[in-house]
Amino acid sequence: MKHSCKNSIGARHFQHLLVSMKFTCLNKGSGYYFPPSYILDVSGFRILLDCPLDISALTIFSPLTTQFHPQLVNESSRYSSMDMEFEIHKRQKIEQPLDRGNFIRAEPWYKTVTDLHLWDPSSIDIVLISSMTGMLGLPFLTRNKGFSAKIYATEATASLGQLMMKDLVSMHSEFVHIYGLEPNFPQWLKWEELELLPSPLKEIAFGKDGLELGGWRPLYSSEDVQVCIQKVEIVKYAEETCYNGALILKAFSSGLEIGSCNWTIDSADADIASVSSSMFASNVATEFNYHALQGKDLILYSDFSANENMEDFEHGNKYNAPTMHPSSTLNDSTVDCKNVDECLLNSEELLEERDKLAFVCSCVVDSVRAGGSVLVALVQPSISLQLLEQIPDYLESSAMRVPVYVISSIASELLAFTNVVPEWLCKQRQEKLFSCQPLFSYAQHLKEKKLHLFPSIHSTELLTNWQEPCIIFASHWSLRLGPVVHLLQRWHGDRNSLLVLEVLRCLSCLSSQWR
């Protein structure tokens, strides 16, 4: 985390600001799927900013398909106690590459924000949510009896977050339906079992500093999700919300995703801005609002470009989108706004995003032309929606008729929602509304039967209409839950098939299961 302060603040004012405010970083974050989370004590109030889940931590579990009904090994350890000493001795000699036998075969648990469980829920006054992934861990907090904090999020973030949690609960419930529930304290969580994990998996379980084991939890229920959403208070961009007559809270677009936001917190002691992962320009979401940062005493920021983590592997090279770092111009209200607009909201970032999407689409066409199928395993809506628009067009321009399936329990709700929320979209999308065009062209693809939606991989309609090669969109959940497990098992041996996946932590953990 970095702090950026106004040059005009006097030494006394700044010293008073530091005394009246306390900052505690709970999690530094690791990209879009696990955003940073921290606690801010200001003017006598305790504010929690974001409450995510570490989705990438699911990679320590073995992906078990619900299709073939294999017997679940309730004793989730790989080794008996008799072999423990031998295995430890073997690992001390040499660390073998990961293979299928290394992963935990058990009902998945979920890793929450580090050390959040050590805080008294009743001590938190406010929770500010910046994105849909920033609220995936919220039901763990709201189901505590002592929790009474006010939760604020934009309407789009709350709606998308609810759908994402609903999808996760659905995928997990399918797993439990086949294999049954684990004990309250499963075998794999015992210290002696965790010690036997290979180093990459052990680091995920314990954390690099060995202090993250207490963050693991069994998943919440659909009832917990409903209770959580009922406690969320909806705000609009730039809408003032007064808390206890002492704090003024405002949400401003971060440009990262539909409904995602940065927050300003104004009080008698200081005016503070909290900047989450942001993009200066987007082909889908409302553009980044930097004006909200001007004139603030303190700016807390963690990541200014979500594109920085996106990778392109064409010709074996990796490149990052241009990253712009904030400076004193952001919080200096005297600078020329037009010049800053030209600097931040340039078209290069948009063009680079389009180039990457075009590259993915061309790879999809090449794979299908070779007779392979394609699995697009994504969670970020803005990327998925653009690919749903473009892939059918690429297929048509290549004179190829290949079905595109979306398999998800929330697909219909998600596509319906995103096509009726122009206020959360970029100007180019909003202009379509005034010309009586759909906000996203996938609506036309649905009408023309180029795109098909199915709630489950076991859907009778899907089985009736199934044909290969095909292109399938599905939630990835680190390739451990849901349709992706079936499809990877079916296609992982086909060299012509393609997996499109957003890069996550421990990529070797994702791929080693399917070697």
Span 48-68, mean pLDDT? 84
Phi-psi region of 424 (alpha: psi -120 to 50; beta: other; left: phi over 0): alpha
Among 220-234, 291-305, 341-355, 480-494, the least confident range: 341-355
Query: In whole numbers, what is the pLDDT of the chain averaged over residues?
Result: 82
Span 147-165, mean pLDDT? 97
Nearest to 277 by CA among 50, 504, 31: 31
Q: What per-residue confidence (pLDDT) applies to 301?
A: 83
Q: What per-residue confidence (pLDDT) applies to 264?
A: 97
- Work out the percent of the chain whose per-residue pLDDT is above 90: 53
Q: What per-residue confidence (pLDDT) applies to 122?
A: 95
Cis before 422? omega within 30: no
Most confident of 99-108, 153-162, 479-488: 153-162
Q: What per-residue confidence (pLDDT) applies to 184?
A: 79
SS3 content of the chain, % helix, strand, coil (to 5): 40, 15, 40
Q: What per-residue confidence (pLDDT) applies to 320?
A: 35
pLDDT tens digit string along 110-123? Answer: 999 988 888 999 99
Is the model more confident about 381 or about 95?
381
Q: What per-residue confidence (pLDDT) applies to 45?
A: 96
Among 24-33, 347-356, 429-438, the least confident range: 347-356
Q: What per-residue confidence (pLDDT) applies to 304?
A: 52
Span 419-438, mean pLDDT? 90
Q: Residue 387 corresponds to which amino acid?
A: L
Q: What per-residue confidence (pLDDT) applies to 154?
A: 98
Is the pLDDT at 182 greater than 70, yes or no? yes
- Which two three-digit tokens encode residue 168? 């996760």
Residue-range domains of the chain with CATH: 348-512 (3.40.50.10890)
Helix (H) or strand (E) holding 228: helix 222-230
Q: What does the alpha-carbon distance between residue 90 and residue 1 come to, in Å, rounded to a whole number?
A: 40
Give the pTM: 0.84
Is the pLDDT at 326 greater than 50, yes or no? no
Q: What per-residue confidence (pLDDT) applies to 88?
A: 44
Q: What per-residue confidence (pLDDT) applies to 152?
A: 99
- Which two three-digit tokens encode residue 37? 């989370």
Is the model more confident about 342 or about 261?
261
Is the model more confident about 345 or about 203?
203
Is the model more confident about 437 or about 164?
164
Biggest CA–CA distance in the chain, Å, is 73
Is the pLDDT at 271 greater than 70, yes or no? yes
Q: How many CB atoms lie within 10 A of CB 133?
A: 28
Q: How confident is the model at residue 21 (pLDDT cuts 50, 70, 90)?
A: confident
User: 137 vs 51, 140, 163, 395, CA distance in Å?
Assistant: 5, 6, 14, 39
Q: Answer whether 171's CB lies under 8 Å from 477's CB.
A: yes
Span 122-149, mean pLDDT? 96
Q: How confident is the model at residue 511 (pLDDT cuts 50, 70, 90)?
A: low
